[in-house]
């Protein structure tokens, strides 16, 4: 066993028995490289990554390849999910050198960590030749190698300034909508061609903008295709093809948390039965398959089982008949489009139209799901990542409230308690935990921002002020420790480990950028408290949106969604009354069903306000002894109302004042 045996990351532990003498990331590995006078070979991946597994089997488990690696390099294995900062700086270098990126990421660097040659997956013969070539260059042309590393670092640092435009306007958002229309696939939904990733943040912007064609077409196509698990719920990472048919089978917490919230918002906007079904199935999948014994959520399910990608999920017509019998098997094969999508005649299940016989469909689906449960399951990465758990908390709290599922709200609360009790240490947030024990890595901007977002959503649903106060603590840390002095934010705190570059990225990737996630949480907090400091910080953080909107709106979806709410100010609803009074609960539910962009809801018993409650509740009490709701913008409120019908009319009206 190499030096990874004592690590807690499931990904690093997958490599603990490799013949490669792996080191975990850290100063000790760099010191060893200096002592031996050899380069670093940095390999970055994550546990659910299919091609990471392929390269591991081909090269890192191969004795001959390991001998070359051990003889000529200090080999460092990095879990990108534990160290997103390390991943970010080396991905910047990889993309700059190769014009592409991905995982596994393979980086050759000086003992100081300066990259001089980068790539992704290499087949074993190519990788072995590369190892020899880099070693020869290090020994025979050291000066050129060091110069290359210095030039890469200098170029990356010179290009690290955030794009700075004006604060987004209504015109900015219209330009962004035009840019999205130019790449929209009207036939199949989504944007661009293959592969297609779920555009969760863009869909939030479209829904907040009242756009129905692009959002509805994409949401329906994703839900009916093979990327969605028609038996168990939950979405795969992306679709290999342009039609959402062939998934890349790994399932990530962050995708499903973001999509759960989007489908709930789609239902609120449209009442589509498909939106409700997919939202609830995805929520139930999260609880069934990703929930940990401590109440957190595991980060991912692997793509592979039995050494084959997707084996757990695919079917043949014969397998359907074996489980269901001839009649139901033939019916299911037609219903789910089981026609031999993959090699060996297997198919992923699709549901391109709703079945006419609901009772038969539920019986068939239950039987197939039960049969699938007897297969060898994909591996699970059971570490809890703070940021992604924050996304899940927000989604489960909102979905539970909207669909009157208290079990989902309760699950969100338990996950929030885990973060508060395990991840939060002396006001600082730690990135990961496993088995109820926190890891050593500091939280990054997305951790603070996404957890704050989740806690504010949970407060709005439950009225529990502890979540509001904890969000305040996290957002204070964002403003104090992550600000770049120019209105934006770094992705790491001011006392985090110093890498060759302090990362900051204003573009969305698989999750909202830390910059826009912070802007959204700060805007919501400002709406609940009237804090000009938080609102102004949110607006300043949105300035890159104006630069990205004309040509790259797909990579600023969450920034655009936050900007949509910021333009007029989020709608603020204060619901006051005894929490156990059915009239209070009816007003509260009506508020949570509203579709106003950036809506915030404060819930409390009314004046006098409890210590630590949002200022939105101050001075607002029941009316004539009856629970009341106040609809406001920028703390300017309409007259209070006491019935759900009146509140619905107020929320559908114009600007309060």
Q: Residues 430-460: pLDDT tens digits?
A: 999 999 999 999 999 999 999 999 999 999 9
pLDDT for res 186: 95
Backbone angles phi, psi at 381, to 5 degrees: -85, 105
Alpha-carbon distance of 470 to 295, in angstroms, equals: 18
| Interval 629-647 mean pLDDT | 95
Angle subtended by helix axes 557-568 and 532-541, to nearest 10: 140
Report, in angstroms and rounded to the nearest whole number, the Rg of the chain calculated over CA atoms: 25
Can you tell me the distance from the alpha carbon of 548 to that of 331, in angstroms, rounded to the nearest whole number?
A: 48
Tell me if 571 sits within 8 A of 594, measured CB to CB. Answer: yes
- Compute the distance between CA of residue 375 and CA of residue 431 in angstroms, rounded to an integer: 33
Backbone φ and ψ for 434, nearest 5 degrees, come out as -150, 135
pLDDT digits (tens, 9 = 90+) for 482-527: 999 999 999 999 999 999 899 999 999 999 999 999 999 999 999 9
Written as six digits, the tokens of 196 are 């297609």
Cα 213 to Cα 584: distance, rounded to the nearest angstrom: 36
Alpha helices (H) in 354-511, listed in sequence order: 358-372, 386-402, 406-418, 445-462, 465-481
CB atoms within 10 A of CB 552: 14
Whether pLDDT at 607 is above 70:
no
Q: Identify the pLDDT of residue 608.
A: 54
Measured between alpha carbons, how far is residue 477 from residues 7, 448, 449, 507 in Å?
A: 28, 8, 10, 22
Say yes or no to pLDDT of 189 above 60: yes
CA distance 62 to 369: 38
The per-residue pLDDT for range 194-229, each reduced to its tens digit, is 999 999 999 999 999 999 999 999 999 999 999 999
- Name every residue whose Cβ is closer than 8 Å to that of residue 178 and which is 6 or more positions away in sequence: none
Can you tell me the distance from the alpha carbon of 493 to that of 474, in angstroms, rounded to the nearest whole number? 12
* Alpha-carbon span 267 to 404, nearest angstrom: 14
- Give me the residue label for tokens 């539920």: 362
655 pLDDT above the threshold of 60 = no
Q: Is the pLDDT of residue 576 over 80?
A: yes
| 572: its two tokens | 């603020």
User: How many Cα atoms occupy the beta-carbon half-sphere of 553 within 13 Å?
Assistant: 26
Rounded CA-CA distance 366/603 in Å is 40
Question: Given a cut of 60, is residue 609 above it in pLDDT?
Answer: no
Q: How long is the chain?
A: 657
Of 55, 48, 655, 521, residue with least CA distance to 302: 48
CA distance 264 to 272: 10
Q: DSSP string covering 125-184, please? A: HHHHHHHHHHHHHHHH-HHHHHHHHHHHHHHHHHT-SPP--PPP-HHHHHHHHHHHHHHB
The per-residue pLDDT for 315 is 95
Q: What is the pLDDT of residue 657?
A: 36
21-52 pLDDT per residue, tens: 999 999 999 999 999 999 999 999 999 888 99
For 35-60, what is the HEC assignment? HHCCCEEEEEECCCCHHHHHHHHHHH
CB crowding 492-502: b at 16 or more within 10 Å, else e: bbeebeeebbb
State the angle between helix axes of 465-481 and 445-462 in degrees (0 to 180), rounded to the nearest 10.
Answer: 160
Q: Which helix (H) or strand (E) holds 87?
A: helix 84-98
**Separate counts of helices (H) and strands (E) for the chain:** 25, 20
Q: What pLDDT sits at residue 656?
A: 40
Nearest CA among 535, 531, 606, 610 for reference residue 574 = 606
- pLDDT band of residue 567 (cuts 50, 70, 90) is very high
Residue identified by tokens 């333009």 is: 567
Q: Is pLDDT at 163 greater than 80 in this prediction?
A: no
The share of the chain scoring above pLDDT 70, in percent, equals 98
Q: Would you state the pLDDT for residue 156?
A: 84
Collapsing DSSP states into helix, strand and coil, what is residue 389?
Answer: helix
Sign of CA dihedral 596, 453, 580, 264: positive
Mean pLDDT of the chain: 94
| 538 burial type by CB count under 10 A (0-12 exposed, 13-18 middle, 19+ buried) | buried
Closest CA to 386 of 354, 434, 352: 434
Give the C-alpha separation, 385 to 432, whole Å. Answer: 5
| pLDDT digit string, tens, across residues 107-116 | 999 999 999 9
pLDDT score of 3: 93
| Cis bond before residue 104 (omega within 30° of 0) | yes
């Amino acid at each position: 066993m190499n030096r990874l045996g004592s690590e807690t990351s499931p990904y690093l532990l997958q490599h603990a028995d490799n013949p490669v003498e792996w080191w975990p990331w850290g100063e000790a590995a760099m010191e060893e490289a200096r002592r031996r006078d050899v380069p670093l070979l940095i390999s970055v991946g994550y546990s659910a990554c299919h091609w990471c597994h392929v390269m591991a089997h081909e090269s890192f488990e191969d004795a001959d390849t390991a001998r070359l690696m051990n003889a000529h390099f200090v080999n460092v294995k990095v879990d990108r999910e534990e160290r997103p900062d390390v991943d970010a700086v080396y991905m910047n270098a990889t993309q700059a050198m190769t014009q592409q990126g991905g995982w596994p990421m393979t980086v050759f660097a000086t003992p100081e960590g300066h990259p001089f040659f980068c790539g992704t997956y290499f087949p074993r013969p190519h990788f072995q030749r590369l190892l020899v070539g880099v070693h020869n260059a290090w020994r025979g042309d050291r000066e050129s190698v060091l110069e290359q590393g210095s030039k890469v670092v200098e170029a990356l640092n010179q290009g690290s300034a955030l794009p700075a435009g004006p604060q987004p306007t209504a015109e900015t958002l219209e330009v962004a909508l035009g840019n999205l229309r130019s790449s929209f696939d009207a036939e199949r939904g989504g944007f661009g061609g293959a592969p297609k990733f779920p555009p969760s943040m863009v869909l939030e912007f479209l829904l907040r903008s009242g756009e129905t064609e692009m959002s509805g077409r994409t949401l329906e196509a994703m839900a009916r295709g093979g990327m969605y698990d028609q038996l168990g719920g939950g979405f795969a990472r992306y679709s290999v093809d342009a039609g959402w048919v062939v998934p890349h089978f790994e399932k990530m917490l962050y995708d499903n948390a973001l999509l759960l919230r989007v489908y709930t918002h789609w239902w609120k906007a449209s009442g589509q039965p498909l939106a409700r079904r997919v939202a609830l199935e995805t929520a139930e999948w999260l609880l069934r398959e990703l929930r940990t014994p401590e109440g957190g959520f595991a980060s991912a399910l692997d793509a592979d089982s039995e050494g084959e990608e997707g084996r757990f999920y695919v079917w043949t017509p014969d397998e359907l008949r074996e489980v269901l019998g001839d009649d139901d098997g033939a019916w299911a094969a037609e219903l789910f489009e089981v026609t031999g999508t993959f090699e060996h005649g297997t198919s992923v299940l699709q549901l391109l139209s709703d079945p006419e016989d609901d009772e038969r469909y539920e019986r068939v689906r239950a039987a197939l799901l039960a049969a699938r449960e007897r297969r060898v399951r994909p591996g699970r990465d059971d570490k809890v990542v703070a940021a992604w758990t924050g996304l899940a908390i927000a989604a489960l709290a909102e979905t539970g409230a909207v669909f009157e599922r208290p079990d989902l709200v309760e699950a969100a609360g338990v996950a929030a308690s885990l973060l508060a009790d395990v991840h939060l240490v002396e006001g600082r947030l730690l990135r990961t935990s496993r088995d109820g024990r926190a890891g050593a890595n500091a939280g990054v901007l997305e951790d603070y921002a996404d957890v704050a977002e989740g806690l504010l959503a949970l407060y709005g649903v439950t009225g529990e002020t502890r979540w509001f106060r904890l969000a305040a603590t996290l957002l204070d840390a964002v403003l104090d420790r992550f600000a770049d002095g120019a209105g934006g934010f770094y992705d790491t705190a001011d006392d985090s480990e110093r890498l060759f570059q302090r990362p900051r990225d204003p573009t969305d990737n698989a999750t909202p950028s830390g910059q826009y996630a912070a802007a959204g949480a700060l805007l919501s907090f400002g709406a609940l408290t009237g804090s000009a400091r938080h609102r102004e910080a949110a607006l300043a953080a949105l300035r890159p949106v104006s630069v990205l909107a004309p040509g790259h709106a797909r990579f600023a979806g969450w920034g655009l969604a936050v900007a949509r709410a910021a333009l007029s100010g989020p709608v603020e609803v204060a619901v006051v009354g005894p929490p156990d009074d059915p009239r209070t609960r009816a007003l509260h539910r009506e508020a949570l069903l509203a579709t106003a962009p950036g809506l915030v809801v404060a819930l409390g018993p009314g004046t006098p306000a409890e210590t630590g409650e949002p200022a939105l509740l101050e001075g607002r009490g029941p009316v004539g002894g009856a629970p009341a709701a106040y609809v406001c913008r920028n703390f300017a409120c309409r007259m209070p109302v006491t019935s759900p019908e009146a509140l619905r009319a107020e929320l559908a009206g114009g600007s309060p004042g």
